[in-house]
Amino acid sequence: MAAQINTQKKKVGQNIKVVVRVRPFNKKESRGQSRMAVNCISPTEIQTKDKKYCFDRVFQPDCNQLDIYSYIVEPMINDVFAGYNCTVFAYGPTGTGKTHTMIGGDPSSLSSLDWRRNEKAGCIPRVATNIFDEIASRKVNDYNVRVSFLELYNEEIRDLLNSDKRRPPLNIFNDDKGAVFIQNLNEKNVFNSNDIHELLKQGTLRCQTNSTHMNNHSSRSHTVFTITVHIKEADLNGEEVLKTGKINLVDLAGSENIAKSGAKDKKALELANINRSLLTLGRVIQILTEKNNRHVPYRDSKLTRILQDSLGGHTKTCLIATVSPADSSYEVTQCTLEYAMRARDIKNTPMVNEKVTQVEMFKQLTTEIEELKRKLEATQLGEGGSGGAGFFVAQQHWDEIQNQLHVNSNSLTMKNEIMDDMKKRLADLEVIQKIKTRDYEEAMKNCKNKEKIIHKATALLKEHRENLQQEKYLSKNYFQAVQDENTQAKCLLQANNTLTENYNMARFKLKTQYLNSLSNNCLIQEKCRSLQQTIVSGREQLDKMSLTSQSAVTNQMAVLEESARACHQELERCAAWKKEIEDVANNKNGVSEVIEERPSCVSEVMGLVDKGCKNKYTTRNADPLNRLRSRLRNMYHMQIQSKRQQIKLLEQEVKEMVENLEIIDRRTNNFTIEEEEDENMIKQDFISKSTVLPNTGVDLVAQTESVEENFENIKSRLTELINQKIDTETAHLNLNQTHINTMKQMIASTEKSLKMHISEQKSLLETTEKIGKDLLDEWIQAIPADDTPNKVSVNYPKQVGDGPLPRDVLIKKFQEEFDEDISNESFHLNVSTNTEEHLTPRKSNEYSETAT
């Protein structure tokens, strides 16, 4: 049994691949001087005189076997190992190279064939070697490769790997998922490519032998060479799964028209039957490419039944249309190209075959065993006819059942052993599961703790980030402050420079002032000296003047004495003049008259006379010399007095000048002291400032430099610290991130394993449920060895009679109902509780409810 279960994982429709291979002219065509009827205009286009066709690839007559293999089959090897089913059809008229493409050169030399070097080798020998190469390169240890080779001729399946004439008939079955399997078809285990080559050789020879018995048989039969690969690999969870993929290589019968063969009557019917498969194939292709969802008549031919999954199913399919280039074959070539064009529209939904895990296998086996046991018991009870649910079976059939039971019993024993082993493994698995559950719970706990830690760490991280921001801000401020300080230091330096300049200027000014005052002092001193000299010279002059005045006095005395004498003489003259006046007074008449005439003049003259008289009297009494002397003395005294006065004034002036000089001197001294004091004060101030500020410009520069250096150091240290902090924080962050990621991964993997566990449990449940049904079917199928396409079941009422209904009655009933003779066939007996339906034979699938 080769049941393949397909899953419904992906449903992406993809068109089947269709290529055309044009063979070279054969001898006959060359001799007949045929002309080319087709032209390969590009790698994907072929042109006939009527039409241009586009395919996935067009292989020209000069292409070689390896080109075909590399493009079509080689990529399928990976698919087979991935668990896909793949099919390659060769379709075309007789003699166009289908067998050449599939098998290639002389099959008798196949076993020693190295397909890479042998140019004649077709796809089958190449794929055989390729599969084992792939197994070796993938280092697959646990694998199983099986080969089957069948021929379909006149709607009859022949096993080309089984020459036994007593071989059981080959029946085609569909399981409930639509997968097709051929009962009793030999599937040979192969262990290397040579094994496959050998089987291919044997099968091909057997096919050819058949061909010699039947005229031109080979071109009218279809052959299907299947290689099935089972590999055991660990899946992503480390669990071992069994993957199954296969490749079907189908060499179809020649597609030429029946009419063309010229056969008539029985032969024509036979040919019609032979071509039934091809016709059905054409119909199936036609319907599959329509959009009206018509019923696809797969069941109308065995070929379409066998290849059902390859056409509109889940297989990856490629059709190779082989054509002749000759114009003599133009018509069939055109038909073939049209046929191939239609096939291009078929959409398949390739799917990976279900991978079966060991646990599932175990569950399947367990359920199968249980079911078998139950069936066995039921059968044993029914055997004696006392079980109430008995049924009648022919003796021969009964023997077969007994044999089957014996085989099944052995199988049961074996399966029991396997079951025990499996039970042990299950127990182990349960322990592991418990441990894993505990681990999982612990992991969950850890996860929760870690989550808390992560939350804390996140909060801490946030805090760190904030701190960092703050530190950054502070650093920025500090940086600014340092820059400000630097600017201030520069300002101070500038101020200091200005101060130094001012100080130097003030110093220079003071010096200039001092020097000026010094020179002023000298000038004053000079002036004082000149004053003193003036005074001395003044005194000397005074002394000289005194001497001069004394002599002048003497001279004046002399002058005065002279004048006294003159005076004396005057006086004498005055006396004389008085006498004369008296003489005149004596002459009174004349004078009286005058007096009378001019009294005022007389009084005036009398005043003058009186005055003269008085003067005369005084002068008469005083010494005129003495008077003169005293007058001169007075004059002298007065002059002396004025000179003294002058000297006093000069002395006063000199004194004042000396005093002024002293004041100036003092002032000068004071000024010098003040200046010194000022200088000292400035110095003191400068020194005091210098203690606060840098001592000197050099110090200040040095200090500024050191400040700058410090600033640079602080800056670099700060940068370093910030970088360190950032590095630490980043490392911290990364660590936390890694931690979080690890935790997430752990959570994810735990979740995944949990989900898987749940899905496993579910699938186990489902499988357990289904397995009972499957085994029941299988059990039923195993007993009657039915070779008809539809199972025949005969309903048997529970309440009827004392014994089983005779077989011939049942056969008759069936004949009446279906107009079909089942006397040579084995059939099921079902017990019905429905009395109304009793004795009514039905197809089993129509009244499954009545089955117990």
Ligand X SMILES: Nc1ncnc2c1ncn2[C@@H]1O[C@H](COP(=O)(O)OP(=O)(O)OP(=O)(O)O)[C@@H](O)[C@H]1O
Nearer to ligand X, 21 or 243 (CB): 21
Residue ranges in 51-80 that form contacts with ligand X under rule CB under 6 A? none
Nearer to ligand X, 95 or 125 (CB): 95
Taking the complex as a whole, the smallest distance from the CB of residue 100 to ligand X amounts, in Å, to 3
Which residues, including other chains, have CB under 8 Å from residue 648's CB and lie 6 or more apart? none
Q: Residue 573: how many CB atoms within 10 A of its CB?
A: 10
- Say whether 96 counts as a known binding-site residue: yes
- Say whether 696 counts as a known binding-site residue: no
Q: For residue 133, give both structure tokens.
A: 């190469």
Nearer to ligand X, 92 or 203 (CB): 92
Nearer to ligand X, 68 or 457 (CB): 68
Nearer to ligand X, 318 or 810 (CB): 318
CA–CA separation, 776 vs 759, rounded Å?
25
- Say whether 178 counts as a known binding-site residue: no
The answer to the question of residue 126 lying near ligand X (CB under 6 A) is no
- Say whether 384 counts as a known binding-site residue: no
The answer to the question of residue 97 lying near ligand X (CB under 6 A) is yes
Q: Whose structure tokens read 């006046």? A: 581
The answer to the question of residue 109 lying near ligand X (CB under 6 A) is no
Nearer to ligand X, 88 or 489 (CB): 88
Q: Which of these ranges, 90-98, 150-158, 287-295, 425-433, lies near ligand X under the rule CB under 6 A? A: 90-98
Q: Which of 218, 275, 704, 850 binds ligand X (CB under 6 A)?
A: 218
The answer to the question of residue 122 lying near ligand X (CB under 6 A) is no
Q: Which of 94, 301, 315, 850 binds ligand X (CB under 6 A)?
A: 94
The answer to the question of residue 221 lying near ligand X (CB under 6 A) is no
Q: Which of 17, 57, 100, 415 binds ligand X (CB under 6 A)?
A: 100
552's enclosing H/E stretch is helix 395-586
* Interface map 779-818 toward ligand X (x if CB under 6 A): ----------------------------------------
Taking the complex as a whole, the smallest distance from the CB of residue 61 to ligand X amounts, in Å, to 7
Q: Which of 98, 126, 206, 355 binds ligand X (CB under 6 A)?
A: 98
Q: Which of 4, 16, 23, 107 binds ligand X (CB under 6 A)?
A: 23
Q: What string of DSSP letters covers 615-649?
A: HHHHHHHS-HHHHHHHHHHHHHHHHHHHHHHHHHH
**Of residues 779, 844, 774, the one with CA closest to residue 378:** 779
Q: Which of these ranges, 22-30, 425-433, 482-490, 843-851, lies near ligand X under the rule CB under 6 A? A: 22-30
| Residue 103: strand, helix, or coil | coil
Which residues, including other chains, have CB under 8 Å from residue 203's CB and lie 6 or more apart? 149, 160, 161, 223, 225
- Say whether 704 counts as a known binding-site residue: no
CA–CA separation, 98 vs 123, rounded Å?
11
- CB-CB contact of 282 with 339 (8 Å): yes
- Say whether 99 counts as a known binding-site residue: yes
Taking the complex as a whole, the smallest distance from the CB of residue 60 to ligand X amounts, in Å, to 10
Taking the complex as a whole, the smallest distance from the CB of residue 45 to ligand X amounts, in Å, to 19
173's enclosing H/E stretch is strand 171-174
The answer to the question of residue 324 lying near ligand X (CB under 6 A) is no
The answer to the question of residue 162 lying near ligand X (CB under 6 A) is no
What does the radius of gyration of the chain's CA atoms come to, in whole angstroms?
76
Q: Which of these ranges, 89-97, 231-239, 265-273, 557-565, lies near ligand X under the rule CB under 6 A? A: 89-97
- Say whether 315 counts as a known binding-site residue: no
Q: Which of these ranges, 87-95, 363-371, 388-396, 445-453, lies near ligand X under the rule CB under 6 A? A: 87-95
Taking the complex as a whole, the smallest distance from the CB of residue 128 to ligand X amounts, in Å, to 19
CA–CA separation, 496 vs 506, rounded Å?
15
The answer to the question of residue 24 lying near ligand X (CB under 6 A) is yes
Burial 430-462 (b: 16+ CB within 10 A, else e): eeeeeebeeebeebeebbeebeebbeebeeebe
Burial 129-140 (b: 16+ CB within 10 A, else e): bbbbebbeeeee
The answer to the question of residue 118 lying near ligand X (CB under 6 A) is no
The answer to the question of residue 325 lying near ligand X (CB under 6 A) is no
Q: Which of these ranges, 94-102, 549-557, 650-658, 703-711, lies near ligand X under the rule CB under 6 A? A: 94-102
Taking the complex as a whole, the smallest distance from the CB of residue 126 to ligand X amounts, in Å, to 15
CA–CA separation, 203 vs 187, rounded Å?
13
Q: Which of these ranges, 97-105, 153-161, 189-197, 687-695, lies near ligand X under the rule CB under 6 A? A: 97-105
Taking the complex as a whole, the smallest distance from the CB of residue 89 to ligand X amounts, in Å, to 12
The answer to the question of residue 277 lying near ligand X (CB under 6 A) is no
Nearer to ligand X, 99 or 367 (CB): 99
Taking the complex as a whole, the smallest distance from the CB of residue 19 to ligand X amounts, in Å, to 13
Q: Are strands 188-190 and 180-183 parallel, antiparallel or unpaired?
A: unpaired
Q: What string of DSSP letters covers 691-707?
A: HHS-SSHHHHHHHHHHH
Residue 318 φ/ψ, nearest 5 degrees: -135, 135
Which residues, including other chains, have CB under 8 Å from residue 150's CB and lie 6 or more apart? 157, 158, 159, 160, 170, 182, 185, 223, 224, 226, 306
Q: What string of DSSP letters covers 114-152?
A: -TTT-TTB-HHHHHHHHHHHHHHHHT--SEEEEEEEEEE
**Of residues 477, 362, 348, the one with CA closest to residue 422:** 362
- Say whether 93 counts as a known binding-site residue: yes
Residues binding ligand X: number (CB under 6 A): 15
Q: What string of DSSP letters covers 755-819?
A: HHHHHHHHHHHHHHHHHHHHHHHHHHHHTTT--SSS-EEEEEETTS-SSPPPHHHHHHHHHHHHS
Nearer to ligand X, 29 or 360 (CB): 29
Q: Which of 6, 85, 87, 96 binds ligand X (CB under 6 A)?
A: 96
Residue 350 φ/ψ, nearest 5 degrees: -60, 135
CA geometry: angle 761, 764, 766, nearest 5 deg: 110
Q: Which of these ranges, 91-99, 127-135, 160-168, 519-527, lies near ligand X under the rule CB under 6 A? A: 91-99
The answer to the question of residue 217 lying near ligand X (CB under 6 A) is no
Q: Whose structure tokens read 């039905």? A: 842
The answer to the question of residue 92 lying near ligand X (CB under 6 A) is yes
Q: For residue 534, give both structure tokens.
A: 């003036």
Q: Which of these ranges, 18-26, 49-57, 347-355, 841-849, lies near ligand X under the rule CB under 6 A? A: 18-26
Number of helical (H) and strand (E) elements in the chain, helices listed first: 17, 20
Taking the complex as a whole, the smallest distance from the CB of residue 328 to ligand X amounts, in Å, to 15
Edge-to-edge strands of the sheet including 45-48?
A: 38-42, 45-48, 52-54
Taking the complex as a whole, the smallest distance from the CB of residue 266 to ligand X amounts, in Å, to 22
Q: Which of 107, 125, 203, 254 binds ligand X (CB under 6 A)?
A: 254
Nearer to ligand X, 96 or 832 (CB): 96
CA–CA separation, 780 vs 404, rounded Å?
12
Taking the complex as a whole, the smallest distance from the CB of residue 77 to ligand X amounts, in Å, to 23
Taking the complex as a whole, the smallest distance from the CB of residue 23 to ligand X amounts, in Å, to 4
The answer to the question of residue 26 lying near ligand X (CB under 6 A) is yes
In the Cβ-directed half-sphere of 738, how many Cα atoms lie within 13 Å? 6
**Cβ-closest residue to ligand X?**
97
Q: Which of these ranges, 88-96, 380-388, 636-644, 685-693, lies near ligand X under the rule CB under 6 A? A: 88-96
Nearer to ligand X, 4 or 99 (CB): 99
Nearer to ligand X, 323 or 654 (CB): 323
| Positions that interact with ligand X (CB under 6 A) | 23-24, 26, 92, 94-100, 218-219, 254, 322
Annotated binding site: 92-99
Annotated binding site for ATP: 92-99
